[in-house]
Every structure is written in C-alpha cells, then in structure tokens.
Structure 1
Amino acid sequence: MAYMKPFQLKQGDTVGVVAPASPPNLENLGRGIQFLTKLGLTVKVGKNVAKRNGYLAGSDQERLEDLHQMFLDKEVKAIICACGGYGTARIAAKIDYKMIQNNPKIFWGYSDITFLHTALRQEAGLVTFHGPMLGSDIGREDTHPLSKVSFFQLFQPLPLSYTEELSPLEVLVNGPASGPLVGGNLSLLVSTLGTRFEIDTKDKLLFIEEVNEEPRVIDRMLNQLYMAGKLSATAGILIGDFHECLPKNLSLTSDEVIDHYLKLAKKPAIKGLQIGHCNPHIAIPLGAQATLDTVEKSIIIEPGIK
C-alpha cells in the first residue's frame, strides 16, 4: 500500500505549532520557533499551546481543536509538535480523519506523538515524520546540528540513506527487507493493541525506540508485541535509541532483552540507529517505503514529501 505524501515546504511557507500531549517548556519552545524562522518559515502557534491541565497541555477538547484548526488552515503547510509527554491517545478517537485526508500536510513529532503517527497513517493514509520537536529537542541549547539538519528533508524530496557514517550499526538477524516504515516509541505502540488504532506491522519495516524504562519493562512490552504477532508479521525490524534504559538491580540488559525477541521473530533486524530520545536525533518519514540491507548495513528510505 502506498501512503499519501504531503507537499514539500518552500521559503515563506507557514508552519503551525501544536501541543497535543503535555505542556512544553515555553523558553525552549521559543528557541525552537526561532530555528523555524531562520529556515525562512512563518510560524503560527496554536492558541492553546501554553495552557496547562496537570500533565496535559489544556483539555482534550482544546488540544483537539488546535490540531483540527492547523489541518483546516489553508495557510499552514506543516504542523510541528512542541513536545511529547502524554495525552495523544486521549484525543485519537475524536479526530476527524476524513478532514485530514482531504487536507494532507506535513505532520512532525515523536515520543507520545507515536500514537498520532499510527492513527494518521492507518485512518487517513498520511505519511508523517518521526523527528525532534521544538520544545524538547530543537530549543535546547545543546541540540546537535544533525537534529536540525533533519528538517531539510521537508524542503526537497530526496531519499534518506542511513549508514554507519551516522552511527555504528549491529546486525541481529541477517537478510534483506523492504516495506513501508512504521513504528515509533515502544510504549505507545503497545498501547495501541486491542484498540481501533492497533499498529499494523504486516510486511512493514518496524522501527522501535524507548526512553527511561528498565529492561524488565522493555521485556514485558516486547513480549506483548511478540505474542500479538506484531514482530513476526514484519518484513524487518529497526532498533533506535533505548535511552537510559538501564537496570536498577541485578538484571538482563536492555540489549540482551532486545536481542532475545528479535531473534525469536526471525526477521531481518539491525540496531544502533540514532533515532529517538537521543542527541542527535535523525528524523525519518513514517509510511514511506524503506529498504534494509544487512550486508551493507544500510537503510534507504524514500522521500516523505512530494
């Protein structure tokens, strides 16, 4: 299945900023917005982005309203998330996916945004971008230049090549694999199981990353994906950064846990991608066709824009 690609950006275009999960660090968000303006873009901030409702950036209705308004706004050509945290699953069932299908545009974020990536792809058929966000990544003073370079893929439809020039890669299971690239944060992928938005991994290249989870928790989540048939259904598996996923007591390591389940799945698999809660964080288009070559240790991904 070919998913719908949004149009590329050009100088002077307007991009919208939303916070569909937790409230962003406003100081970092300000620096992130400055980065977008330096790219020659005009920025429109959702009216509810600065609101707080405990661990949420405003009420469900307010966050949903900002998201809908940005897709409906004809001036807005891309939608960039301020941060992740928690909350996107709460609004997923209320989103107007037909409206989004009729107004396709670039949508960018990661972490808790994984739930929206999955929903937008499976319900609206839209290619979206798993990439560093304005408040939690780009606006930080120590942001790696490669994280910022990732945004350039929105301006020109060129394929993305991930090789060991970017980071050391380790092959866990040999073999070629190709298919649409799907996935994101492991916790969020597991949370889709049993819902209308359950992740479809059949004949897909599945990407997984995680942050701040002990190996036993990673074990539980990977075991659930495995028992649900999600790992064995894939064409291949890509492992990103498992940031600070360290044992607190005598334990298996997260690498040992990951290796165990990927070998059980018996699908071509590679790990070591600098994608996720890491610095640098390389952005990738989800839903775009991708090819894994374990001999060359490379992943080639088609452009996520047209």
Structure 2
Amino acid sequence: MKIRPEHLIVGDTVGIVALSSPIAMEKLPQKLSLLEELGLKVKLGETVGLTGDYLAGTDEERLQDLHNMIQDPEVKGIFCIRGGYGAARIADRIDYQLLTEHPKIFWGFSDVTYLHTAFQEYSDIVTFHGPMLSGGDGPLSEASKKMFYQLFTPVEIQYDEQISSLQTIVPGNVRGEITGGNMNRLVSTLGTKFEIDVKDKILLLEDIGESLENIDSMLNQLRLARKLEEAAGFVIGHFNDIGKGITENDLWKVFEQYLKPLGKPSVAGFMIGHCEPNIAIPLGVDAILDADSKMLRILPGVE
C-alpha cells in the first residue's frame, strides 16, 4: 500500500514549481487566485518565471527547485504550474528517498505523468493527476475546482454519467490500483528504469494533439510491451485535438480493436486530461471500475 500524504488545512503553505516548460508570467495571477480561494498560502519556486528556450530553466535548476520544495517543512503540497516538456530530463537525478521521508501532496498532469510514474515506483507515494491551476484558455470550471477539496479531507471519488457520457468498451468489474496518465509520456517510459508498472492495475490513458494514427501506434507499442495484457482494466480519459473530422466514435473504435480481445473491463469518455472540466484523481490508490454500470470509484488519496 502506497504512502498517502497528509491532508491540507486552511492556512497551509503550498509550493509552486515549473518542472517542464516555462509559464507565461501574465497567467500567474489567475493560477494563484485559485489557491488563495482555497485559503492556502503560496511559495513560488525558483523555476517559476525562468525560461530556457522550451524549458523552465536548466535541468539543475528544476531538479533543485523540486528537492527544495520536498525538504521545506513549511510546504505541505507541491503543485506543478505547467506541463509541456522536460520533466523526464530530471527523473534519473531525483532523490526519491526524500519524498518517502517527507511525504506530501504532488499535483499535476500531462508532461508530469513521467514523474507520477517515477514517484509511485521509487518513492512509493500516492500522487494527484489534476489540472495546472487553470484551464487551457482561462479559469477552471466549478467542477474542476471542486476536485481540489479532496486534498483537505479523505474522500472517495465517484465518477458516473452524471459527470459525462461514458462508453463501455468491455463489460465487467475490477478492483485494483489506478495508475497512468498521458499516453505519450507513458509510452516514453518503456525500456527505461521508469517503465510504468501496470501489473494487475487499472490503467488511465489520456492525450492531446495526437492523430488517430499516433494513438493507434502508441496503443500498439503498449500492446507489444505487454502492458495492455498485464493491466487489469482501462479508464480512457479525454483525447483532445485528434484531427479534423475525427469523431469520438472513430477514436473508440481504435481502442476497441486493442482492448476487446483482452476481455478486461474498459470504459471510455472520462473527462480526465486536457479538457474542461478536468476531473482530478489520486494515482496509486485502489479503485473499482464497474464497466457494466459505467461507474469508477477511487479511494481517498490523503490521510
């Protein structure tokens, strides 16, 4: 059982880091306003505002910023301010024992998927797959904001068709640890020491800006690496910007080709990923996927 970090309380301080691409500073006030609404104090990391072409500073600067936030006793949670690219470049130099010794909330998605996978494997800690404090084009929806409250009290997440229309690809029921995230980043872990462990787990997949052909290619790579075979079930999140004229049904047909032969519970249509709302969930805790009634239940991510 993975370590669940302590819950937040109003008045706590949380750290903001940029471990991937740089943030446009004019967007920072909007992002920080959400944390202020939640009654949290904010400590900006040294990487916030740094630029180095497509990275928020050097690898050394981003690594040090992360280590500083983990070790800072005042900081109760760490929020990634942006995705993009670059998190994997520091993965092999992170001191994973630090987070095991100082467990705290780690939140982000997209490029941060690489670190979710690494932290779950080497720090043995629950992390949170959630939006970068704002939507793609503006403030978060109320539904997205509501998901931050799971950090303040242990609460079970329940997702059904009251949130979005869901499509059962393979019927059945399964319980297992939920893991995964951005499919592109998950595929990039294959063949490395950070290769995602999906054995008997429920695998979450989402992505943005990938063509139907690329999605097919990534699914095939996961198949050849036996990841689809090893997983216990599948939660298919949002796939945004997949090409002009490509429908959701076109996308589900590709998933059906890979998942139906496996006979493992699989449901598509979850608003998890590059979408609004973007429903935040803990990774590394047990979940129950009921593909027959189209319901996903996830156990609390905090103590």
TM-score range for the pair, normalised by the shorter chain length: over 0.9
Corresponding residue number in structure 2 for 1:59? 58
Contact 1:28/1:139 (8 A) holds in 2: no
In the alignment, does 2:22 pair up with 1:20? no
2: CA distance, partners of 1:77 / 1:161: 25
Select which of 281, 288, 291 maps to 1:291: 288
Contact 1:32/1:138 (8 A) holds in 2: no
1: CA distance, partners of 2:31 / 2:3: 27
The CA deviation at 1:143 is 2.6
Corresponding residue number in structure 2 for 1:38? 37
In the alignment, does 2:267 pair up with 1:270? yes
The CA deviation at 1:141 is 2.9
- After the TM superposition, list the runs of 4 or more consecutive aligned residues in structure 1 that deviate by more than 6 angstroms: none
2: CA distance, partners of 1:95 / 1:264: 39
- The amino acid of 1:264's aligned partner reads P
The CA deviation at 1:282 is 0.3
Contact 1:138/1:148 (8 A) holds in 2: no
In the alignment, does 2:281 pair up with 1:305? no
SS of 2:177 mapped into structure 1: strand
The size of the alignment, in residue pairs, is 301
Contact 1:290/1:300 (8 A) holds in 2: yes
1: CA distance, partners of 2:279 / 2:20: 21
SS of 1:253 mapped into structure 2: helix
Gaps of 5+ in 2: none
Corresponding residue number in structure 2 for 1:11? 10
Larger mean CA deviation between 107-116 and 259-268 belongs to 259-268
TM-score by length of 1: 0.95
The CA deviation at 1:297 is 1.1
Deviations 1:79-113 (A, max 9, x none): 00101000011000000001111010000000000
The CA deviation at 1:139 is 8.2
Contact 2:144/2:277 (8 A) holds in 1: yes
Contact 1:115/1:188 (8 A) holds in 2: yes
The CA deviation at 1:259 is 1.8
Identity over aligned residues, as a percent? 49
Q: How does 1:124-143 map to 2 (within 5 A)?
A: 124-134=123-133, 137-138=134-135, 140-143=137-140
Gaps of 5+ in 1: none
- The amino acid of 1:215's aligned partner reads L
Q: How does 1:1-306 map to 2 (within 5 A)?
A: 2-134=1-133, 137-138=134-135, 140-246=137-243, 253-306=250-303
Larger mean CA deviation between 15-24 and 26-35 belongs to 26-35
- The amino acid of 1:15's aligned partner reads V
2: CA distance, partners of 1:138 / 1:223: 31
Contact 1:173/1:266 (8 A) holds in 2: yes
Contact 2:78/2:107 (8 A) holds in 1: yes
Contact 1:110/1:132 (8 A) holds in 2: yes
Contact 1:32/1:139 (8 A) holds in 2: no
- The amino acid of 1:50's aligned partner reads G
Larger mean CA deviation between 283-292 and 261-270 belongs to 261-270
- The amino acid of 1:164's aligned partner reads E
CA-based RMSD of the aligned residues comes to 1.4
Contact 1:4/1:127 (8 A) holds in 2: yes
The CA deviation at 1:33 is 0.7
Deviations 1:262-285 (A, max 9, x none): 113321100010000001100000
The CA deviation at 1:261 is 1.1
Deviations 1:104-157 (A, max 9, x none): 0000000000000000000000100000002xx358535311111110100010
1: CA distance, partners of 2:56 / 2:251: 32
SS of 1:157 mapped into structure 2: coil
TM-score by length of 2: 0.96
Deviations 1:12-45 (A, max 9, x none): 0000000000001222222111110121100000
Contact 2:30/2:139 (8 A) holds in 1: no
Contact 2:181/2:204 (8 A) holds in 1: yes
